Structure 1
Amino acid sequence: MWAYIIRNFLQRCVLLFIVSVMAHSIVHLAPGEPSEVDPSNPRMQPEDIKKIREAFHLNDPLYLQYYYWMRDLFTGELKSFKDSQPVLPKIWERFLNSLPLFICATLIVWTLAFPTGIHAAVRRGSAYDRGSTFIAYALISIPGFFLSYIMILWVVDTFGVPVIGMRTFGMENAHPFFQTMDRIWHLVIPSIMSALTGIAILSRYVRSQMLEVISQDYVRTARAKGLDEDTVIYHHALRNALLPFVTLFGYLLPSLIGGSVIFEYIFAWPGLGRLGYEAILSRDFPIILTINFIAAALTLAGTFLSDILYAVVDPRIRLE
């Protein structure tokens, strides 16, 4: 067990290094440089561009630029091309903004998708099953940004309250209780809108997996033994149907990086995905590379966690 964990961990460290090298090479080989973001700026003189390139080692070979990037990243001295601010505190601030949105959306998805999918599988062919299937495919087909704009217009027109941003303008001096309630209100709408597609997709997976499990012989045997339906469904069938979702659980970690960039832009939410998109537009290499590195690390950590959870959930699996 421990030999497998150590070997798997070392393999992922090597893979992370390879991914970082490839990402660094692709970003720097792409057309355009930070000094070319606004060539029409009259204040940008050739000597200023030269100083920028020297300050950020853009004249050095790629392998030296990679070394400087990794050195500055792990020493905390990496700075943004755009505003010369430290990269890690900047990313951490946006991460803290994205975290509540991610947690709320994830809780909504996993709380609603499983009962919906299980109920549809148990009552296969019923009006509920057909209705939930229709709604799920409709939510998958309709773009999320379109529904978000409709929701914003409806909420503002019906209730006359703001839903854009993380807080209402002018609430800075209000009582802490009202500030907290205002923050929760601004969190509700984007969380629901970003969770709709996830509910539709995950509920279909749950329904499909439950239909496959409840037709197995051990489920029929449990019913033949006289067990009540809830015990058969939730104790015997659901436990075995959960195995494929262990993999999905592992991929929740990389969703922290840019999982809701579209909704962050629509609702003017200053999150991490929005920061990455703005960095791409401004060719801010340190921000782009650092976010990519963190996303790769979270992806590898998520898959590693999934492998470990498989052995915990299913005793038949042995990590040899």
Structure 2
Amino acid sequence: MKNKITKRILQAIPMLLFISFVSFLLMNLAPGDPAQGYITPKMSKEQADLIRVSLGLDKPMLTRYFLWLKNVLSGDFGYSLVSRQAVASEISSRFFATLGLMGSSLLLAIFISIPLGLYTGMHRNKFLDRFTNILNYIAISIPSFWFAMILLSIFSLKLKWLPSVGMRTIGVTSTLDVIKHGILPTIVLSFSNIAVLTRYVRSCTITELKQDYIVTAISKGASKNRILFKHIMKNALLPMITILGMSLPSLVSGAFITETIFGWPGMGRLGINSIKALDYPVIMAMTLVTSIMVVIGNLLADISYVLVDPRIRRGNENV
């Protein structure tokens, strides 16, 4: 197990370097000039050039990339070109807000999709199965920003049940207030994942029901609950772990959109604002942090494989 984890970490290092270089290249090819936020029409060319020098924009792209990489390896992510604050402190102050939103949406998707997928697979082509399939197609097809607007219009503007923006109400510090603010963004972020996971669990359930060991268990009089939760669910967990690992990039990108719409004070909102302002130190740090999150998530998925399936664990021990 330790060798497998070490190998995966070593494999992730060149991938992270490649992602950072491509991101830096694309950012420099994008139209616009980060120094324009500091240059006024009354400034002379010499003053404008001094601003570019102070921001480090006078050096070639490769030189700036390697200088950035050297600083990052020493733990220095630089300073924001907009706020002039340390990039590390700006991201760390928003990291747990994003992590909490992503974690809650992932847990919600798991808790809903597993029992729903098992039940609809067990009762294939019945009313609930067909109705759920229609909802799954809708959830996969509709844009998340449109769904967010619909929820805001219904539950915030018309019914006034839930707050529309932010993470807290001004002057209120209770946990319940944070939960109320997080309900709508969590639903939006988990909606498509619930549909995808439910379909995969349903498909695995239908496949497992045709296996010989299930037919034998049914012939021996085993109850449906015993068949579902003792036999089928164990074998359905492995493909579900794969889908969860594959859904992490879309979860991260979805958090950017969701946080912007709901005014959630996380990394997504910071990232969108930084892209608009061409604040490349923040953009690069955000890219690196989110890439590391995806790598760690996939590593945890691999570890979960070993814990769930004894055959994989025995195979690793024999290697």
Query: Common fold, TM-score beyond 0.5?
Result: yes
Q: Distance in 2 between matches of 1:314 and 1:297?
A: 26
Amino acid at match of 1:72: N
> Do structure 1's residue 109 and structure 2's residue 109 form an aligned pair?
yes
Unaligned runs of 5+ residues in structure 1 are none
> Do structure 1's residue 67 and structure 2's residue 62 form an aligned pair?
no
Tell me if structure 2 keeps the 8 A contact 1:98–1:256. no
Helix, strand or coil at the partner of 2:254: coil
Amino acid at match of 2:131: G
Partner of 2:158: 157
Tell me if structure 2 keeps the 8 A contact 1:258–1:272. no
> Do structure 1's residue 220 and structure 2's residue 207 form an aligned pair?
no
Tell me if structure 2 keeps the 8 A contact 1:166–1:269. yes
Tell me if structure 1 keeps the 8 A contact 2:87–2:282. yes
Instruction: Specify whether residues 211 and 49 from structure 1 end up closer, same or farther in structure 2 by C-alpha distance, changes over 3 A only.
Output: farther
Partner of 1:54: 53
Helix, strand or coil at the partner of 2:58: coil
Partner of 1:137: 137
Of 211, 234, 247, 2:206 maps to: 211
How big is each residue's C-alpha offset from its partner over 1:87-119, in whole Å with a ceiling of 9 and x where there is no partner?
011011122222332222222111111111111
Tell me if structure 2 keeps the 8 A contact 1:252–1:302. no
How big is each residue's C-alpha offset from its partner over 1:177-209, in whole Å with a ceiling of 9 and x where there is no partner?
xx4332221111221232222212221121112
How big is each residue's C-alpha offset from its partner over 1:239-282, in whole Å with a ceiling of 9 and x where there is no partner?
01111122233356656744322222221222211211111111
Q: Distance in 2 between matches of 1:246 and 1:195?
A: 16
Instruction: Specify whether residues 38 and 206 from structure 1 end up closer, same or farther in structure 2 by C-alpha distance, changes over 3 A only.
Output: farther
Of 233, 236, 258, 2:231 maps to: 236
Q: Spell out the pairing of 1:1-320 with structure 2 (5 A cutoff).
A: 1-36=1-36, 41-42=40-41, 45-73=44-72, 74-76=74-76, 78-155=78-155, 156-159=157-160, 162-168=163-169, 171-172=170-171, 174=172, 176=173, 179-251=174-246, 254=249, 257-317=252-312, 318-319=315-316, 320=319
Q: Distance in 1 between matches of 2:14 and 2:161?
A: 54
Q: Which moved more, 1:256-265 or 1:292-301?
A: 256-265
Tell me if structure 2 keeps the 8 A contact 1:113–1:203. yes
Helix, strand or coil at the partner of 2:284: helix
Q: Distance in 2 between matches of 1:4 and 1:54?
A: 46
Aligned-pair CA distance for 1:80: 0.9
Helix, strand or coil at the partner of 1:159: coil
Share of identical aligned residues, percent?
34
Tell me if structure 2 keeps the 8 A contact 1:104–1:191. yes
Helix, strand or coil at the partner of 2:159: helix
Q: Distance in 2 between matches of 1:161 and 1:304?
A: 36
Instruction: Specify whether residues 34 and 230 from structure 1 end up closer, same or farther in structure 2 by C-alpha distance, changes over 3 A only.
Output: same
Unaligned runs of 5+ residues in structure 2 are none
Query: Which structure dedicates a bigger proportion of its chain to helix?
Result: 2
Instruction: Specify whether residues 75 and 103 from structure 1 end up closer, same or farther in structure 2 by C-alpha distance, changes over 3 A only.
Output: closer
Aligned-pair CA distance for 1:79: 0.5
CA RMSD of aligned residues (A): 2.5
Tell me if structure 1 keeps the 8 A contact 2:166–2:264. yes
How big is each residue's C-alpha offset from its partner over 1:42-83, in whole Å with a ceiling of 9 and x where there is no partner?
365534432332223222233321232123333335111112
Instruction: Specify whether residues 48 and 85 from structure 1 end up closer, same or farther in structure 2 by C-alpha distance, changes over 3 A only.
Output: farther
Amino acid at match of 2:268: G
Q: Distance in 2 between matches of 1:233 and 1:128?
A: 17
Amino acid at match of 2:25: S
Tell me if structure 2 keeps the 8 A contact 1:258–1:274. no
Aligned length in residues: 313
Q: Distance in 1 between matches of 2:90 and 2:83?
A: 11
Tell me if structure 1 keeps the 8 A contact 2:112–2:194. yes
Q: Which moved more, 1:272-281 or 1:47-56?
A: 47-56
Aligned-pair CA distance for 1:160: 6.8
Amino acid at match of 1:166: M
Amino acid at match of 1:205: Y
Q: Distance in 2 between matches of 1:254 and 1:220?
A: 39
Q: Distance in 1 between matches of 2:224 and 2:41?
A: 75
Q: Distance in 2 between matches of 1:259 and 1:29?
A: 25
